[in-house]
């Protein structure tokens, strides 16, 4: 038997300690310190290490326990029938392995495994709190929490406040005794209202609807439980008198008894249909009024469930197929530092690869030195990484409890990793910067930004080509791009005459881009595409903008002090003035096209003319620039900041401080659908 190293022994010990702490906080204190997905991944890591090194298994290991002790403020009762937890699968390979294990057991039992009934039933996994309900002669007599699966907490008075749980079964001849299992949960809308109320009262917010449901069920005052409007889905029952054949039959009977049963269940003849069901709900679940984090797959025929039985911890006939987590733990292998076009040094975490939100993640942003200090990062730490939708992964927190001995803290470099010049960190900023204007990284970033789609949009000039242009010293500013020739470009690796001609033509075509795009392409700090549009509407020529004062610039609606100062400072740098002159000579568009009386009249006739919009968050279907163009086409104006002059704030998912400010100012908020309706009515 292979002997574990001291590092492995230490890792097992620390994982056990952290999992015990998380379990105690969740089950006993009602104060979770770790998300389910993170707990699952740490648990699986410990489980794998114990599989590889069984000599490290201890009697008190988290893997050797069915559950945790219930809290003491309620009466502890023993379940009539144990409430087993479910084994988790995180991909189709693990699901197939579960099926194969079940098939082996059935063959070992030498039972008939053919059946006319569909083999599987899929039900959405409701993110709530499990309950066991006991009925005697049709009357609810006891409601208990899951607890450790063997012993739970008796909370009958609280259970009776849940309107979707019948106090009397809707059966003419109810059985003498029946036990119903299901999930108590909070709808998303009710959860949001509870948190809003708690925020008003200065109370800590619930982390998610599941935690809120669990906390609600354990309130000593049943009036509080009733006020929170918990809901309930029943998913199984235990009784001996009625001979049921399938799990589907059990759900149908539960409905006859008066219980709510999740309508989104489906019979599946094989794992192929199971996978289709799972995939179909991966995005659709976002539209449900309650939270679900996966699909529960069960063997449908109850005779097969009986044949398969249970392991020490799980039923062999059911498994939870989980959706990819948006947060998960992994190890920090190293930290590299990137230099951007403004000279900002951005630390990037190099990670042990992990699956997150359906993709493999190996790198994540750490933002700046202040963030690193806040996280207290050491190389070798276990860190939590988040990825939501299309957003770049980021390290959101650290687990120093799992830190290896002799782990070294990461320190930001004192010199630029690209040019070797000393870096600076202004007291008013969180960002460390290289201020060497000749730094190759700053030049590369400036060129890539200039050529980007929202700037002058030079097709074919990407990172690889820019890298070569800088290394060969063919380009030292964006103006040099317009002096490139086919002959110069064909000197580069893998650059033929045909490709070089296309690039030269694309560079020439970029001269026709409007003044707003050119201004954005200059890369002035804080000037995004929206601000560039606003500035060029006010200052129709580069001379007007260059000669303006900060007060003049700040007078533009939507432009603040920070932007005004940055623009004024940029145009007062001699090197930038020289750049503008070169761009003029090369024929770039540094003035707005004059408006004709006809175009002005048409713009005034548009129904959104004079209306100011701000976009915040991620919209379900429209990209931000698409929404912006639609608003502008209808005569509206899009700005980047909320003020009393803002008419509408268009709100998407993960809306931030702009939404908060809009609420404070009483500004109207629109969803994407409401925006499209407004645009349609304005057409």
Residue 461's nearest CA partner among 489, 425, 424 is 489
Q: Out of 69, 104, 107, 125, which one is annotated catalytic?
A: 125
Nearest to 383 by CA among 671, 677, 374: 374
489 is in an annotated binding site: no
* Annotated binding residue 40: yes
CA 523 vs. chain centroid, Å, equals: 29
What DSSP string describes 178-211?
EEEEEEEE--HHHHHHHHHHHHHTTPPPPSSHHH
Q: At what angle do helices 574-585 and 561-571 cross, to 10 degrees?
A: 70
Q: Tell whether residue 235 is among the known ligand binding residues.
A: no
Cα separation values, 438 from 340, 526, 527, Å = 13, 21, 22
451 is in an annotated binding site: no
Start-to-end CA distance of the chain, whole Å, equals 76
Tell me if 490 sits within 8 A of 496, measured CB to CB.
yes
Q: Is 125 a catalytic residue?
A: yes
Q: Name the pairing type of β-strands 318-322 and 88-89.
A: parallel
Which H or E run includes 547?
A: none
Q: What is the dihedral of CA 588, 591, 597, 602, to 10 degrees?
A: 80
Q: Residue 86 has which token pair?
A: 């479910």
Extract the tokens encoding 624: 């931000």
Structure token pair of residue 203: 């109370």
Question: How far is Cα 539 from Cα 173, in angstroms, rounded to an integer?
Answer: 83
All residues at 6 or more sequence positions from 251 whose CB lies less than 8 Å from its CB, including other chains = 234, 235, 261, 265
* 322 annotated to a ligand binding site: yes
Q: Take residue 413 and report the two structure tokens written for it.
A: 């470099």
Q: Is 192 annotated as a binding residue?
A: no
Tokens representing residue 503 in the block: 């690039």
What is the DSSP secondary structure assignment for residue 118, as one 8-state letter?
-
37 annotated as belonging to a binding site for a ligand: yes
Query: Would you say 605 is a known binding-site residue?
Result: no
The alpha-carbon radius of gyration of the chain (Å, integer) is 31
The residues near 238 (Cβ < 8 Å, ≥ 6 apart) are 80, 81, 178, 179, 181
482 is in an annotated binding site: no
Q: How far is CA 210 from CA 26, 128, 183, 370, in A?
A: 11, 4, 10, 33
Both tokens of residue 77? 């009762």
Residue 488 annotated as binding? no
In contact, 184 and 231? CB cutoff 8 Å: yes
* 68 among annotated binding-site residues: no
442 is in an annotated binding site: no
Task: Say how far apart CA 39 and CA 24 lie, in whole Å.
Answer: 12
Token pair of 651, please? Answer: 């709100």
| Closest among 238, 225, 36 to 127, alpha carbons compared | 36
245 is in an annotated binding site: no
* Active-site residue set: 125
Binding site for Zn(2+), residues? 416, 419, 439
Binding residues: 36-40, 85-86, 123, 146, 183, 298, 322, 416, 419, 439
Known binding-site residues for NAD(+) equal 36-40, 85-86, 123, 146, 183, 298, 322
């Amino acid at each position: 038997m292979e002997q574990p190293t001291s590092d492995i022994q230490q890792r097992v010990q620390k994982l056990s300690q952290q999992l015990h702490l998380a379990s105690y906080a969740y089950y006993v204190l009602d104060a979770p310190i770790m998300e389910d997905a993170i707990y699952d991944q740490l648990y699986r890591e410990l489980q794998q290490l114990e599989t590889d090194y069984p000599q490290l298994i201890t009697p008190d290991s988290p893997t050797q326990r069915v559950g945790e002790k219930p809290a003491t403020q309620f009466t502890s009762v023993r379940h009539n029938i144990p409430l087993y937890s479910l084994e988790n699968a995180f991909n189709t390979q693990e699901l197939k392995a579960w099926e194969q294990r079940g098939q082996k057991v059935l063959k070992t039992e030498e039972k008939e495994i053919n059946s006319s009934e569909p083999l599987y039933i899929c039900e959405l996994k409701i993110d709530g709190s499990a309950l066991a309900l006991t009925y005697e002669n049709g009357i609810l007599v006891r409601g208990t929490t899951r607890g450790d699966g063997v012993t739970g907490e008796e909370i009958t008075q609280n259970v009776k406040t849940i309107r979707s749980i019948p106090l009397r079964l809707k059966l003419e001849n109810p059985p003498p005794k029946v036990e119903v299992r299901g999930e108590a949960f909070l709808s998303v809308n009710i959860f949001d209202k509870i948190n809003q109320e708690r925020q008003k009262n200065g109370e800590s917010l619930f982390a998610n609807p599941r935690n809120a449901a669990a906390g609600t069920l354990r309130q000593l005052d049943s009036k509080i439980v009733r006020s929170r409007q918990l809901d309930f889905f029943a998913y199984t029952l235990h009784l001996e008198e009625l001979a049921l054949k399938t799990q589907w039959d059990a759900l149908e009977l539960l409905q006859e008894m008066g219980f709510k049963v999740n309508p989104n269940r489906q019979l599946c003849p094989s794992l192929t249909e199971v996978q289709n069901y799972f995939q179909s709900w991966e995005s659709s679940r976002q539209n449900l009024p309650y939270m679900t984090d996966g699909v529960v797959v069960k063997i449908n025929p109850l005779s097969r469930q009986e044949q398969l039985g249970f392991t020490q911890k799980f039923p062999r006939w059911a498994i939870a197929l989980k959706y990819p987590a948006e947060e998960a733990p992994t190890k920090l292998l190293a930290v590299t530092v990137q230099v951007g076009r403004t000279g900002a040094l951005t630390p990037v975490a190099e990670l042990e690869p992990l699956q997150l939100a359906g993709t493999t993640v190996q790198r994540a942003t750490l933002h700046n030195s202040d963030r690193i200090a806040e996280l207290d990062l050491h190389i070798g730490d276990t860190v939590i990484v988040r990825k939501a939708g299309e957003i770049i992964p980021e390290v959101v927190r650290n687990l120093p409890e799992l830190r290896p001995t002799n782990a070294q803290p990461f320190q930001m470099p004192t010199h630029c990793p690209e040019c070797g010049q000393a870096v600076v960190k202004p007291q008013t900023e969180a960002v460390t910067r290289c201020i060497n204007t000749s730094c190759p990284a700053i030049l590369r970033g400036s060129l890539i930004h200039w050529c980007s789609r929202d700037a002058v949009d030079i097709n074919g000039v990407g990172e690889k080509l820019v890298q070569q242009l800088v290394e060969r010293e063919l380009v030292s500013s964006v103006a040099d791009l317009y002096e490139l020739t086919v002959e110069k470009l064909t000197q580069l690796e893998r650059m033929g005459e045909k490709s070089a001609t296309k690039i030269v033509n694309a560079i020439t075509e970029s001269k026709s881009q409007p003044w707003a795009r050119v201004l954005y392409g200059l890369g002035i700090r804080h000037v995004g595409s929206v601000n560039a549009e606003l500035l060029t509407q006010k200052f129709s020529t580069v001379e007007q903008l260059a000669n303006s004062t900060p007060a003049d610039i700040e007078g533009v609606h939507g432009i603040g002090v920070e932007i005004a100062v940055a623009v004024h400072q940029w145009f007062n740098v001699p090197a930038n003035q020289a750049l503008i002159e070169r761009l003029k000579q090369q024929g770039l568009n540094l003035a707005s096209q004059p408006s004709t009386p006809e175009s002005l009249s048409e713009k005034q006739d548009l129904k959104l003319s004079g209306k100011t919009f701000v976009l915040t968050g991620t919209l379900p279907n429209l990209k931000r620039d698409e929404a912006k163009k639609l608003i502008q086409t209808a005569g509206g104006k899009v700005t980047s900041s909320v003020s009393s002059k803002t008419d509408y704030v268009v709100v998407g998912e993960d809306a931030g401080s702009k939404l908060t400010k809009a609420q404070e100012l009483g500004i109207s908020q629109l969803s994407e659908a409401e925006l499209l309706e407004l645009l349609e009515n304005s057409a």
